[in-house]
Amino acid sequence: MLLDVREPWEFELASIEGSEFIPMSQLERRFTELDPDAETVVICHHGNCSSYVAVALQRAGFENVLNLEGGLDAYSSVDESVPRY
């Protein structure tokens, strides 16, 4: 699962197709929407906030969590369908 934790205005600008969107500010109350057994890749703009969220998910019992290093900004350099902002 691709978990995008950016702000709504950022998600509107650019996103990876098929990603789930839960803003970081809403994550604590929406944990139950996530599958703790699923491989989860956390995405933000540059990789800093998603790193924090990945650690928080691991502490909450999620075992297979990854952070997209460099975030959507880095990803956009390898996938032209995702605009850079």
- List residues with catalytic annotation: 44
As given in the structure block, the two tokens for residue 32 are 């139950």
Dihedral pair phi/psi, residue 33, rounded to 5° = -80, -10
How far is the CA of 68 from the CAs of 6, 29, 75, 77, in angstroms? 13, 23, 8, 13
